[in-house]
Amino acid sequence: MAFSPLVDELVESLRCLPGVGQKTAQRMAFHLLERGRSGGTRLADALSNAMTGVRRCESCQNFSDTELCAICENPSRSIGTLCVIESPSDLLAIEQAGDYKGGYFVLMGHLSPIDGVGPEEIGIERLVQRVGGEQVSEIILATNPTVEGEATAYYIADRLADRDILITRLAHGIPVGGELGYVDGFTLTHAFRGRKPLSD
Ligand SMILES: [Zn+2]
């Protein structure tokens, strides 16, 4: 169906968003054209500016408008600790928790040989170089507790095994306020393995 090349192009373009199929894209396009013109114009400007202006931080690979991101530029962050995560949303979650004051390294994915994603694609060489060039004393491997996330963590730990640094992995376990009876067996096993003395 083609009643307007401009509308068709808008619908097709919206389909690049995750989880947006033909019907949803049509609904979005019609909404913007019928009732959301100012929002649509703002969206178009923001998209255009972000697509040309946002780059990757030279140091941590996170999205940034400048060569170094605000966290890497912040002199009050401890550069001795580096937290390795899969995505910028992980960084936001940790920052919102508010307790961590070290640096980050954002992989923008995980190792996935089937999809052709190797160490080079997610910047592990860059991470190894950074660890060699800075006074890093601890690497916190905070990749997701999935098969790929675990494999990525083990790979990085292996690559850094000959360095004189502490390599730690985030503990997985019982959610705060949770009850043992409702926790799945995999999580419970991890929690047992990650147990620590009560005095900590
Ligand atoms: Zn950075």
How far is the centre of ligand 1, averaged over its atoms, from the C-alpha of 66 (Å)? Answer: 9
**45 C-alpha to center of ligand 1: Å?**
25
Q: Other C-beta atoms within 10 Å of 120: how many?
A: 9
- If one counts every other C-beta atom within 10 angstroms of the C-beta of residue 11, the result is 21
Give 23-77 pLDDT, tens digit per residue.
999 999 999 999 889 999 999 999 999 999 999 999 999 999 999 999 999 999 9
> What is the distance in A from the centroid of ligand 1 to the CA of 62?
6
User: How far, in Å, is the centroid of ligand 1 from the Cα of 116?
Assistant: 26
Average pLDDT over residues 125-134: 88
Q: Which pLDDT score, from 0 to 100, does residue 59 have?
A: 92
Q: How far is the CA of 46 from the centre of ligand 1 (A)?
A: 22
Neighbouring-strand partners of residue 112: 117
Q: Which residues of 157-178 are buried (b: 16+ CB within 10 A; e: fewer)?
A: eeebeeeebebebbebbeeeee
- If you measure from the C-alpha of residue 87 to the centroid of ligand 1, how many angstroms do you get, rounded to a whole number? 13
Mean of the pLDDT values across residues 8-34?
A: 95
The predicted model scores a pTM of 0.83
Buried b (16+ CB within 10 A) or exposed e, 68-89: ebebbeeeebebebbbbbbbee
Please check whether residue 122 is in contact with residue 111, taking contact to mean a CB–CB distance below 8 angstroms: yes
Query: 14 C-alpha to center of ligand 1: Å?
Result: 30
